[in-house]
Amino acid sequence: MGSLRRELEGILTEKELAKLRAFDLVGDIGVLRLPPELLPKKKEIGEALMRVHRHLKTVLLQVSPVKGEFRTRKLEVVAGEPRTETFHRESGCVFKVDLDKVYFSPRLAYERMRIARQVRGGEEVTNLFAGVGCSSIVIAKHSEAKAVYSVDKNPEAFRLMCENIRINRVGGRVLPLLGDAREVVSSKLRGRADRVLMPLPGAARQFLDTALEALKEGGGIVHFYDVGEEPDPFSPSISFLEREAGKRGWEVEVLNQRLLRSYGVRAYHLVLDLLLRPKGQK
Ligand SMILES: C[S@@+](CC[C@H](N)C(=O)[O-])C[C@H]1O[C@@H](n2cnc3c(N)ncnc32)[C@H](O)[C@@H]1O
């Protein structure tokens, strides 16, 4: 950020420089978010970003928030080649992504690796919202998991996930499934998982039954992603889980809680690592 600011000195006023927001680097594409006051200078800012990060071939401006069932966003090319597809390297893996058609955030790299480090040899993992397969592939590469069932409803994410499984040579261990997580779990993945990933903050609560159905009979670990607000971001999610899982005959133990990043001023993207067991079972 500091070097982009320096590159833009003399092009933007002091006031404008103070308004610059953090950008993402995804493979050879830079992704900018700009406040309305800076939109007239988007081309100059995009070109400056390419001078600062010389490996970039394209700079995109995010013109809508991430939204909709597939969690995609509208993008506009402001500098370089007109494309939205690239290869991104992370944790010894390579991911092909199309930023226009699928969800992807390089900011979740630490979180993906954090989960992978917890996976024990022989585990079966069910990833309910796998996107282009990043978490599933990082798990397969960095653990001795037996299988990572990877579900996504977006056909473009599924297509790229299949390609990423091939590129990263994790075929046979990461198993891609196209469809709605509820239907896929009910029809193909009941009672299989030692561990369930629920990376759909804001909507994961609607899939609690699906996560419980996916777990093995004796229970297991669930990584539950949600949105929480100051002053007490975790409590509403924990209360929801204890109440709703309790009604269904399950006990919840919170093993770990973590804020991933802020959403706006007072809201956070958070994760709870949970141990879920049928009541009365030790
Ligand atoms: C936040 S993204 C997942 C990101 C991914 N875990 C990663 O690390 O890149 C959420 C994904 O859930 C998928 N999705 C949304 N609703 C779904 C559903 N009902 N069943 C399966 N996938 C769904 C979206 O298409 C999207 O790819």
Residues above pLDDT 70, as percent of the chain: 100
Dihedral angle sign, alpha carbons of residues 113, 117, 118, 122:
positive
Instruction: Give domain status of residue 93, yes or no.
Output: no
pLDDT at 177: 98
122 and 171 co-located in one domain: yes
Q: Is 157 in the pocket of ligand 1 (CB under 6 A)?
A: yes
For 173-184, give one letter per residue: b (16+ CB within 10 A) or e.
bbbbbbeebbeb
Q: What is the pLDDT of residue 282?
A: 65
> Could you tell me the CATH number of the domain that includes residue 77?
3.30.300.110
- 6-23 per-position pLDDT tens digit: 999 999 999 999 999 999
pLDDT tens-digit series, residues 39-65: 999 999 999 999 999 999 999 999 999
pLDDT of 2 reads: 77
Nearest CA to ligand 1 atom 27: 131
Q: What is the pLDDT of residues 168-203, one digit of tens each?
A: 999 999 999 999 999 999 999 999 999 999 999 999
- Domain with 247 in it: 101-278
Clarify whether residues 137 and 78 are in a common domain.
no
CB distance 61 to 73 below 8 Å:
no
- Whether the pLDDT of residue 264 is over 90: the answer is no
Measure 282 CA to ligand 1 centroid, in angstroms. 33
**Residue 94 lies inside a defined structural domain of this protein:** no
Q: Is residue 21 part of a domain?
A: yes
How confident is the model at residue 170, as a pLDDT?
98
Residues 139, 64 within the same domain: no
CB 103 within 8 A of CB 152: no
Structurally, the chain folds into a number of domains equal to 2
Residue to substitute in 66, 67, 71, 113 for testing ligand 1 pocket (most ligand atoms within 8 angstroms of CB) = 71
What residue owns the CA closest to ligand 1's atom 19?
180
Question: Scanning the structure block, which residue is given the tokens 């022989």?
Answer: 122
Establish if 157 belongs to a structural domain.
yes
Lay out the sheet containing 220-229: strands in order across.
Answer: 174-178, 147-152, 124-127, 195-198, 220-229, 267-278, 250-263
